[in-house]
Amino acid sequence: MKLFFQKYGSGPPVIILHGLFGSGDNWRSIGRSLADQFSIYLVDLRNHGRSPWHPDHTYPAMAGDVLELLDRQGIERAHIVGHSMGGKTAMYLALRHPHRVEKLIVVDIAPKKYDAIFGDIIKWLRSLPLYKLKSRTDALAYLLQFLPQKGIVQFLLKNLVRDGENWRWRVNLDAIEAHLGELNDWPDVGNARFEGPTLFVRGKQSNYIQPEDYPRIRHYFPKARFVTIANAGHWVHADQPEVFVRTVRYFLNK
């Protein structure tokens, strides 16, 4: 699959993979901040952003798409940064194709199964009466009835686009809903390990990576290091962008 991406800067390639319901656009300010030193590729994963839709939405499929992007761009090895769903995709890619990954940065996700999440969000997004919408403000007011966190609703509504008089979702809700169990889970990687430099970045106010996850992480990534960023939740890069950029830059330059 030919993924959509935005490219900034020049230098060693850094591929950035967003989380569920996200897109490369969410990472634009981070990408521009790092573009003075690196070639930054902000990727829209399948069924998200401006990339094509496909009924298969699994980690092996997404990792395969990123591999194809590397091949198309003539990139032999790259630094890979992945957040949440993009972090699991990045881990799978590094474990299955370690020779293509220089350094790995995983943002606020662990290689484990999580309790079912996002099912309600998909239900609420589906219930939004697109045919009645006059503006994005209408959509915001509607979704705030179910999800009172305005920042999260605004993030989700970045997937709502207008085509002429009609509104539509850029994210493939059918494919995501069909594979939600697999997205919450961790795919089978056998005995694979990634021996390269690896950094796990967690938000202090997030519970996605716990200290009890460290042994499991080190099983797959023996050289894993851990950084906790204060005053940050699951969207670490959005909550503390300057600290996040400094952390990434320091690790990649070591």
pLDDT for position 172: 98
Mean pLDDT of 222-239: 97
Domains of the chain, by residue range, sit at 5-114+187-253, 119-177
Q: Coil, strand, or helix at residue 167?
A: strand
pLDDT for position 116: 74
Q: In sequence order, what are the residues at sequence separation of 6 or more whose Cβ sits closer than 8 angstroms to the Cβ of residue 254?
A: 197
pLDDT for position 118: 77
Q: Which fold has domain 5-114+187-253?
A: Rossmann fold (3.40.50)
H runs (alpha helix) in 6-47: 28-34
Q: Cβ of 113: how many Cβ atoms within 10 Å?
A: 10
Task: With beta carbons less than 8 A apart as the criterion, state whether 202 and 228 touch.
Answer: yes
Mean pLDDT of 9-31: 98
Q: How far apart are CA 141 and CA 153, in angstroms?
A: 9
Q: How far apart are CA 40 and CA 5, in angstroms?
A: 10
pLDDT for position 163: 87
Q: How far apart are CA 180 and CA 189, in angstroms?
A: 19
Residue % of the chain over a pLDDT of 70: 100
Tell me the CA distances in angstroms from 229 to 8, 112, 226, 233, 251, one per residue in order: 25, 21, 10, 9, 14
pLDDT for position 165: 83
The residue whose two tokens read 């694979």 is 192
Catalytic residue among 84, 179, 206, 237: 84
Catalytic residue among 18, 79, 234, 237: 234
Mean pLDDT of 8-15: 98
pLDDT class of 30 with cuts at 50, 70, 90: very high
Catalytic residue among 56, 174, 185, 213: 174
Determine the residue type at 170.
R
pLDDT in tens, 103-127: 999 999 999 999 877 778 999 999 9
> Tokens in use for 106?
């995983």
Q: Coil, strand, or helix at residue 93?
A: helix
pLDDT in tens, 71-89: 999 999 999 999 999 999 9
Mean pLDDT of 201-205: 98
pLDDT in tens, 146-167: 988 899 999 999 999 998 889 9
Annotated catalytic residue 206: no
pLDDT for position 183: 96
From first CA to last CA, the distance across the chain in angstroms is 33
The answer on pLDDT for 209 being more than 80 is yes
Q: At what angle do helices 59-72 and 85-96 cross, to 10 degrees?
A: 70
Average pLDDT, the chain: 96
The pTM of this model reads 0.96
Closest CA to 208 of 187, 184, 189: 184
Annotated catalytic residue 84: yes
Mean pLDDT of 212-230: 98
Q: Coil, strand, or helix at residue 211?
A: helix
pLDDT for position 146: 92
The answer on pLDDT for 64 being more than 90 is yes
Annotated catalytic residue 18: no
pLDDT for position 117: 72
Q: How far apart are CA 214 and CA 236, in angstroms?
A: 19
